[in-house]
Structure 1
Amino acid sequence: MPRTVSPARRHTGRSRLLRITAALVVLAALGGYMTVQYITSSKVVDGCLVESADGSAGERRTYRMSPEQAVNAATISAVGTSRGMPERAVTIALATALQESGLRNIEHGDRDSLGLFQQRPSQGWGTEEQILDPVYSAGEFYRHLAQVPGYSRLPLTVAAQRVQRSGFPQAYAKHEPDAALLAAALTGRTPAALNCAPPRATAASADPAKVRAELVRAFGKNVLPAVDEAPRAGAGAAGATATGIVSVPVPAARKSGSGSGADAASGGAARRGWELAHWAVAQSEALRLGQVSYAGRVWEAGAGWRTEREDASGTDVRIRLAR
């Protein structure tokens, strides 16, 4: 004979189920809120923002990253352009690093993989110390990429895979839009597109010599005038002034990589200037930089970019250290 369940007991069971469901919903909402708070606090308040130049304000593409990621992205771009590689090569490199390490110079990975590109010492990419140097690891990536015939015309996933030999080659594709946005800004094609939060208050003091050293490491020794070169009025050796300003000359043109599919616009002085200016903004926290100015635009820590004058002609990039 079937067992009869009283209406009161059925009601009690439903009530308990509803209470449990409601509790789970509240916990899920709380978890989502905490996650959003963590992401926003780590990526928005203390981070850097890149914006596209096209479309209205509501349609522009944006990408947010931490100061560490911005430094690494700017280094990857600088190493590429200093080797004469085109913007497409920088996009491929950035997409690869986004997939492999999230633009973080990590000291671990699958088997003996290390660094921004998860390169392996056992596979001939260099020593552990070398691979953990972003300038070296980026240079090795570009060296291998340049050996891929017609890489600039290949789908990004194919070009990246020819270098990386990854077990998940299609994973690079999802990073292409963000990598292209970053490359357009960091190679200087999109002016005033990178903005970073002000540097944190630290006990470390700003050092002009360190700024010059990092410029040379990323862009090569020709990025600054020689020490024995006669300085301009008011300037010290190698583009430094006594007032805490590092002045970086913007040459009239720069060479494009032969046979690499370099775009014609890459030789413009304005593009070179914006590349250097964006590099400095990306380094603002690491090197304690307070102001960057170029072509009538000024970036200030905590305020972003502003127009100082309408004259957009090429001038030196001036980097003022934080006080």
Structure 2
Amino acid sequence: MALLAEAGPPVPPPADGPPRRRPVRRALKYVVAVGSVSAVATIGIVVGLNRLTGAGPVTERCTAVLDGSDWYLSPGQADNAALVVGTSVARGLPARAATIGLATALQESKLVNIDYGDRDSVGLFQQRPSQGWGTVGEIMDPVYSTNAFYDVLVEVEGYEDMAVTDAAQTVQRSGFPDAYAQHEMRSRAWASALTGNSPAALSCELAPVANADQIAPDAARDVVVGRLGRDLGLASATGAADPNRQDPASSTVTVDATPLTPDDPQRGAWATGQWAVATAQTTQAVEVHVADRVWLREEAAWVAAETRLSPGEVRITVDAAE
């Protein structure tokens, strides 16, 4: 992990319990597209063998695919990546900003919100209170620290055309200025998926939601809605139980992602949908429906859906206590 050297003050911001098995019935509702079979074969074998005994995946992990390469993060790292990229999208920044943000956080903290570091550095971006980044409490808030990073980045003239490591170093002033480059490809893959530029490119292998971890349906929906507002600024999300579902314990949050990318609502839907997959361990999401595709937690893959949603619409189904 590269640690900060003499990071200067930021540019002032602009004024502005065994696991519960899911019913087999879902296999009748969704069919796997032929083209998806080979892409998920390896994952299907590993996860499928575990499901024969009712266990979760051997290793929980999330994957972003770009140009045929798989780039992995742990579910905890993926959750923080969803915030870092989601914040950039909500602020209307280009995907390049998200790539720079992810590469920086990967180098500084391994995308983990740690409360220690070089000298007084803390948080996702290892920002230093003594250098004007804020108080320890503020910096340990990942929402604050992520916005503080972007507040400085957007003041760097021409950052969109700079090498990722140079842009990151201009903000961070690290003792290891070239270290950010090693994270560029992973960051590009995750930024492309979480900004909605690469549809159905992000998936997570997660264990089923344990009975002991389940909460009431209303509370489960509130978790999703709260995170949508925090990470993406989508306060218009609405939660409602789906009366057509056979399992009344599962509830669905319907999201209008159009405000996220008004000129391209479908990209906003994919940004929101893949954000929902990346945060699924926290929110207990088990299904995410975008366009004519649906991510199934039990399959660890995007498969064909029976129906196609309108552009900008996303449906996130969470597992909740009966």
What is the TM-score normalised by the length of structure 2? 0.74
1:188 is paired with a residue of what secondary structure?
coil
* Residue in structure 1 matching 2:60, options 46, 64, 69: 46
- Counterpart of 1:301? 297
Deviations 1:44-99 (A, max 9, x none): 721111112x4xxxxx1111111100000010001111111100000001000111
One-letter amino acid of the counterpart of residue 191, structure 2:
A
Deviations 1:261-301 (A, max 9, x none): xxxxxx41111100000111011111111111010101111
1:45 is paired with a residue of what secondary structure?
coil
- Counterpart of 1:118? 126
8 Å Cα contact 2:114/2:124 also seen in 1: yes
Give the CA deviation at 1:140. 0.6
1:30-69 matches, cutoff 5 A = 45-52=59-66, 54=67, 60-69=68-77
- Counterpart of 1:203? 212
Alignment partner of 1:151 is 2:159: yes
* Residue in structure 2 matching 1:245, options 242, 247, 252: 252
Whole-angstrom distance in 2 between the partners of 1:178 and 1:197: 18
1:149-228 matches, cutoff 5 A = 149-199=157-207, 200-201=209-210, 203-206=212-215, 207-220=220-233, 223-225=234-236
2:183 is paired with a residue of what secondary structure?
helix
One-letter amino acid of the counterpart of residue 306, structure 1:
V
Whole-angstrom distance in 2 between the partners of 1:241 and 1:77: 27
One-letter amino acid of the counterpart of residue 90, structure 1:
A
- Counterpart of 2:36? none
Whole-angstrom distance in 2 between the partners of 1:248 and 1:311: 15
- Counterpart of 2:314? 317
* Residue in structure 2 matching 1:136, options 140, 144, 166: 144
Give the CA deviation at 1:310. 8.0
Q: Which is further off, 202-211 or 186-195? A: 202-211
Deviations 1:206-241 (A, max 9, x none): 411111111101112xx132xxxxxxxxxxxx5110
Give the CA deviation at 1:315. 4.6
Give the CA deviation at 1:204. 2.6
Whole-angstrom distance in 2 between the partners of 1:312 and 1:62: 28
Whole-angstrom distance in 1 between the partners of 2:142 and 2:64: 21
One-letter amino acid of the counterpart of residue 49, structure 1:
T
2:298 is paired with a residue of what secondary structure?
coil
8 Å Cα contact 1:44/1:64 also seen in 2: no
8 Å Cα contact 1:296/1:312 also seen in 2: yes
* Residue in structure 2 matching 1:107, options 105, 115, 127: 115
Give the CA deviation at 1:254. 2.7
8 Å Cα contact 1:224/1:248 also seen in 2: no
8 Å Cα contact 1:156/1:173 also seen in 2: yes
Q: Stretches of 4+ moved more than 6 A in 1?
A: none
Whole-angstrom distance in 1 between the partners of 2:199 and 2:157: 31
**Unaligned ranges ≥5, structure 2:** 1-56, 243-250
8 Å Cα contact 2:258/2:312 also seen in 1: no
* Residue in structure 2 matching 1:290, options 268, 286, 289: 286
1:240 is paired with a residue of what secondary structure?
strand
What is the TM-score normalised by the length of structure 1? 0.73
- Higher relative CO (CA 8 A, sep ≥ 6), structure 1 or 2? 2
- Counterpart of 1:88? 96
Indicate the structure (1 or 2) with the bigger Cα radius of gyration. 1
Give the CA deviation at 1:252. 7.2
8 Å Cα contact 2:232/2:260 also seen in 1: no
8 Å Cα contact 1:192/1:274 also seen in 2: yes
* Residue in structure 2 matching 1:281, options 260, 277, 280: 277
2:117 is paired with a residue of what secondary structure?
coil
Percent identity for Structure 1 against Structure 2: 44
Give the CA deviation at 1:251. 1.4
One-letter amino acid of the counterpart of residue 50, structure 1:
A
Deviations 1:15-70 (A, max 9, x none): xxxxxxxxxxxxxxxxxxxxxxxxxxxx9721111112x4xxxxx11111111000
Please give the root-mean-square deviation of Cα atoms over the aligned residues, in Å.
1.9
2:63 is paired with a residue of what secondary structure?
strand
One-letter amino acid of the counterpart of residue 111, structure 2:
L
**Unaligned ranges ≥5, structure 1:** 1-42, 55-59, 226-237, 256-266
1:173 is paired with a residue of what secondary structure?
helix
8 Å Cα contact 2:223/2:283 also seen in 1: yes
Give the CA deviation at 1:120. 0.8
1:96 is paired with a residue of what secondary structure?
helix
Report the number of matched residues. 250
